[in-house]
Amino acid sequence: MSQTNILLESGTNELEVVEFYLDEPEYRGHYGINVAKVVEIIRPQPVTTMPQMPHPCVMGAFPYRDGRVVPLVDLAKYLGTETHSEHEPKVVITEFNKVITAFQVSGVNRIYRLSWTDVEAPGSFLMASSRHSITGVVRLDGRVVFLLDMESIVDDLHPGLAVAMQVEGHADTVDVRPLRILHADDSTSIRRLMGKLLTINNRFDVVQTTDGQQAWDLLTNYKKQAEDEQRPITDFVEGAILDIEMPRMDGLTLCKHIKDDNVLRVIPVAIFSSLITDTLRHKGQSVGADTQFAKPDLQSVSDRMFELIEEKYKAEGRTR
């Protein structure tokens, strides 16, 4: 089963999910991955044991396309369980953040198209019990399906590839009012890292939300307050950094809402996501994103957002 490569229209708040399952003892667990992260689904491959295995769940590695060697991960073992299945397992090949990883699962069901409004954020207990590897919960055909935070899993397996930041000083921001930024991302670790980076040397004043709907509600409140007080919207928010995959409302839909609004459209928007690739970059462009960055390049998105806001003020002949 190869990747369908179906590209949904941007800004519709939809996604496509590959549903697969793990046959655990006396239980079949159902899980999902965004189709955009799946290269293909294949039969199990002979693996070679890797020296100094990075994690006990890594079964080994096997040769893949163009001479690349891909690690094979026992997903059940990563999630703290075991599989007991009488049929041959499947291997899901994923690629995002320029990293290819294979995951062994019990089987694959089908691809579903759904709305982000159908995706519920996981509770704190579920997050803790799953090692913070679940990013959403959805009900499909009467089943509870857990959407996996593949970035978090791969970061855990490949510490050297994890999202990190370069702590750099910015002399041009000393003794200057910080720029007001909205950052929306459902990942706790990304929000923590981004918040820390953006506030270095008082560069940005950051407000963070955990999903796109919460961010949109906040922006509409800013808009109403600006109109009531007859002040420019930039007195309340001067830029937005958005993840794509978020419960309730995705970042592309949120960006489209911002750019379709006569007041909010002046706000520079940066899309920051593991889904930013050469083939998918047009989706951000179609909803009016001012710039796009693939995780894990935190420093670049910070620098570019600063430049966009400064350029806008200069073009308007204003100072902040």
CATH number where 309 lies: 3.40.50.2300
Check whether residue 108 and residue 187 sit in a common domain.
no
The whole-number pLDDT of residue 7 equals: 44
Statement to judge: residues 34 and 167 lie in one domain: no
Q: Mark whether 41 and 145 lie in a shared domain.
A: yes
Same domain, 188 and 152: no
Q: Which of 160, 178, 194 is the last residue of a domain?
A: 160
The last residue of one of the domains, among 133, 160, 187, is 160
Residue 133 sits in the same domain as residue 267: no
Per-residue pLDDT at 242 exceeds 50: yes
Pairing of the two strands 107-115 and 14-24: antiparallel
Same domain, 176 and 309: yes
Label residue 313 by pLDDT band (50, 70, 90): confident
Taking CA atoms, 155 is separated from 67, 149, 158, 159, 294, in Å, by 23, 10, 5, 5, 15
Residue 5 located in a structural domain:
no
Nearest C-alpha neighbor of 297 from the set 194, 186, 169, 163:
163
Q: Are residues 130 and 234 in the same domain?
A: no
With contact defined as beta carbons under 8 Å apart, do 56 and 46 qualify? no
| pLDDT tens-digit series, residues 208-240 | 999 999 999 999 999 999 999 999 999 999 999
Cβ–Cβ under 8 Å, residues 264 and 258: yes
* Residue 25 domain flag: yes
Average pLDDT, the chain: 85
Residues 175 and 152 reside in one and the same domain? no
Q: What is the pLDDT of residue 320?
A: 66
262 and 301 together in one domain: yes
15-to-19, 165, 256, 260, 314 alpha-carbon distances in Å: 12, 29, 16, 21, 38
Residue 195 in any domain: the answer is yes
If asked whether residues 179 and 271 sit together in one domain, one would say yes
143 belongs to a structural domain? yes
**pLDDT tens profile 56-103:** 899 999 999 888 889 999 999 998 888 887 789 999 999 887 788 999
**CA dist 151 → 131, 257, 271, 318 (Å):** 13, 26, 16, 40
| β pairing state of 99-105 and 58-63 | unpaired
Residues 25, 150: one domain? yes
How far apart CA 198 and CA 189 sit, in angstroms, is 14
**Residues spanned by the domain of 310:** 163-315
Q: Which residues contact 24 (CB under 8 A, 6 or more apart)?
A: 76, 81, 82, 83, 84
Domain with residue 123: its CATH number is 2.40.50.180
Q: How many folded domains does the chain comprise? A: 2
- Let me know the angle formed at the C-alpha of 147 by 144 and 148, rounded to the nearest 5 degrees: 135
What's the pLDDT score for residue 312?
A: 87
Q: How confident is the model at residue 9 (pLDDT cuts 50, 70, 90)?
A: low
pTM: 0.78
**Which is more confident, 8 or 87?**
87
71 assigned to some structural domain: yes
Please tell me the predicted confidence (pLDDT) of residue 21: 95
In this structure, are 188 and 153 located in the same domain?
no
Among 160, 175, 203, the domain-final residue is: 160
Kindly state whether residue 225 falls inside one of the protein's structural domains: yes
Q: Are 302 and 315 in contact (CB under 8 A)?
A: no
